[in-house]
Structure 1
């Protein structure tokens, strides 16, 4: 049909008898390119109008499909127009380059289709993970893993299709890939280990993007920013990026504090031995205060007991959990709890103990500072000096350090 149309147009232009064959070919190519540009512009405007119309509806998938196919449709129109223009040039010329028009059209069609599918996968990923678009957004890590697998499947299928179009045998390519895969597997075992490590992370989901993770086996701690097929990017608390190969997570223990249900307050508070008479009342009042505290999880383990006779204090164990898991809010709650415990201790006339030591000096042992010269008002006799020294020694015997 295209050949008949070209013959009619060429004969119509040839009737004027003023244009050479090259000019006639140029005019026909120009007309086809101009028509292609016009069709691409009209198609883009139509799709824009449809997008504005569908954006007012509750259905999000029609918007995603239109946005995904907008650019590929324009590319397909240009691809078809360039093919027709090349066919016109081939009608007037026997150059070898124009013999590949059909093959290039097929390869271009596969490329346009792959482009549209990849854009559709990207739009679907945005919809499924956005809390603004869906009521219950899916986990970003899971959706990201599925979208990556879909992209890989689409690209591999497209490559095999293109190879078949270019005349290569797919069975031969697959056989070569099987033999070459063994060699590549030995040469790039670390790369494959990281790939399967990433697959295990997406499968087991020990953590996801945004989680705070740390490892007791390695110096790894921070917030997960990205989980790739080879590396996982972790932002440390001093804002440095840490790139961890995925294979590492298959051999180490990983702790995920982001999934904790509560934060723990575990403190040992000591009071003086002189306040032993108030121990029972202090312990009971601290326990009641924690049970009534609005930020303490009363349904979790709560322990307030006299713990031990320590060297310089009577120790009270305080063990409880907060409702919040946020780091800043936890410390605010802990501060409030400790201040209330301090107020309870003071209300009973007791004090928080601190390390002390009592030193008893035997008679005749002088403490530092006893070798001072006697004052002018003191007696200068031996008896007076001895009496003064004895008084100071008795005073030092009763001193506490």
Structure 2
């Protein structure tokens, strides 16, 4: 008789928590359907607004809220299932629920940061390097906050963690000196901004030249002009000189041109016409230094130089402007019936000398 009563009680308990789990699952399903309908409605409303931040926040909430709707009731069902099977207290279930809530909270903010970063970068109205730096620092701050919160849910004291972190940080700092130097080198690049993504940079101290593709926490990726990727640790930029030609205001044309010595009388006229041409040239910045002067007596030419600046800094456009300037200079020289000199040598031959009967030299031709 007692055995039958025990079986009936066990069956009754089984049915009780079984029914409870079914009800919890059905409640989760109803809540999930309600969330989907609410999300669809809110999505329609946010699409009609002029601002984009509500869309970004709604999209950040979508997946974490869905996970929370299913996982939170699942933890309750797990507690009901184990409550009658395990004699010990299930305090770890409360910790599990707290961890789930913290993880979903951090997840929402990480998704929101990613959405904002992609939205701002796609608009192309802000500096890409600054946006990426702010996004990385924000993600790092929320991840650290989440880790500290998770440690606190396990009963760890924050003051003890900070004390341990001070001692452990010293040990880790000594062991990972290069890693930390690269990290702070990346921070220096983000805050000092000697260059940004897309800039053409080069260093006279190292064989570094190319376009910046990515600035990471540990290294910077530079694409060289022959399309090879160059991975440079960030700490290197603390000890070298970096040139940033992308930030030039103008590009310089500096050329020396030689005229024939036979055209000496025309040099001043040619220089005046070349200077007038450069002053009125649409692609030459006349507000910058503009010099056209006779410069030197060369071995086989009369040299004058051109020193001026273009308005464009684009490499391809610069060479097009330089080509046009040089062709016009050549036309001006030809208009004055002059020509550009080329290397020549003049040989002076002495007449042949003979001797008289008394041994003295004389020229038989004169």
CA distance in 2, matches of 1:162, 1:235: 41
Q: For residue 27 of structure 1, report the CA deviation from its aligned partner.
A: 4.5
Q: For residue 47 of structure 1, report the CA deviation from its aligned partner.
A: 1.3
Q: Which residue of 1 aligns with 2:264?
A: 276
| Larger deviation, residues 105-114 vs 154-163 | 154-163
SS at match of 2:48: coil
Q: Which residue of 2 aligns with 1:158?
A: 146
**TM-score normalised according to structure 2 size:** 0.89
| Larger deviation, residues 303-312 vs 123-132 | 123-132
* Aligned partner of 1:193 among 181, 185, 209: 181
Structure 1: 4+ residue segments shifted above 4 A: 95-99
CA distance in 2, matches of 1:341, 1:41: 78
Q: Which residue of 2 aligns with 1:301?
A: 289
CA distance in 2, matches of 1:184, 1:250: 22
Q: Which residue of 2 aligns with 1:37?
A: 29
Q: Which residue of 2 aligns with 1:233?
A: 221
**TM-score normalised according to structure 1 size:** 0.82
Q: Which residue of 1 aligns with 2:243?
A: 255
* Aligned partner of 2:71 among 76, 79, 83: 79
Matches within 5 A, 1:340-359: 340-359=328-347
CA distance in 2, matches of 1:144, 1:95: 52
Q: Is the 8 A contact 2:83 2:90 kept in 1?
A: no
Q: For residue 30 of structure 1, report the CA deviation from its aligned partner.
A: 3.5
CA RMSD of aligned residues (A): 2.2
| Larger deviation, residues 300-309 vs 31-40 | 31-40
SS at match of 2:123: coil
Q: Which residue of 2 aligns with 1:116?
A: 108
Q: Which residue of 1 aligns with 2:57?
A: 65
Q: Is the 8 A contact 1:86 1:98 kept in 2?
A: no
CA distance in 1, matches of 2:87, 2:280: 91
CA distance in 2, matches of 1:347, 1:272: 15
Q: For residue 24 of structure 1, report the CA deviation from its aligned partner.
A: 5.1
2:169 maps to 1:177: no
CA distance in 2, matches of 1:210, 1:274: 51
SS at match of 1:55: helix
What 5-or-longer segments of structure 1 have no aligned partner? 1-15, 366-393, 395-401
* Aligned partner of 1:168 among 156, 170, 176: 156
Q: For residue 234 of structure 1, report the CA deviation from its aligned partner.
A: 0.7
CA distance in 2, matches of 1:130, 1:346: 53
Q: For residue 191 of structure 1, report the CA deviation from its aligned partner.
A: 1.0
CA distance in 2, matches of 1:325, 1:50: 48
Q: For residue 111 of structure 1, report the CA deviation from its aligned partner.
A: 0.2
CA distance in 1, matches of 2:244, 2:123: 23
SS at match of 2:29: helix
* Aligned partner of 2:306 among 303, 312, 318: 318
Provide closer, same or farther for how the CA distance between residues 360 and 163 of structure 1 changes in structure 2, counting only shifts above 3 A.
same
Number of residues of Structure 1 aligned to a counterpart in Structure 2 = 347
Q: Which residue of 2 aligns with 1:149?
A: 137
Q: For residue 20 of structure 1, report the CA deviation from its aligned partner.
A: 5.9
CA distance in 2, matches of 1:38, 1:273: 98
2:233 maps to 1:245: yes
SS at match of 2:325: helix
Q: For residue 152 of structure 1, report the CA deviation from its aligned partner.
A: 1.4
Provide closer, same or farther for how the CA distance between residues 346 and 20 of structure 1 changes in structure 2, counting only shifts above 3 A.
same
CA distance in 2, matches of 1:130, 1:259: 23
Q: For residue 101 of structure 1, report the CA deviation from its aligned partner.
A: 1.4
* Aligned partner of 1:53 among 45, 48, 71: 45
Q: Is the 8 A contact 1:106 1:165 kept in 2?
A: yes
Output one character per residue of 1:141-181: Cα deviation in whole Å (capped at 9) or x when no partner: 12211221111111111111111111122222211111111
Q: Is the 8 A contact 1:215 1:253 kept in 2?
A: yes
Output one character per residue of 1:39-73: Cα deviation in whole Å (capped at 9) or x when no partner: 22431332133123212211111111111111111
SS at match of 2:348: coil
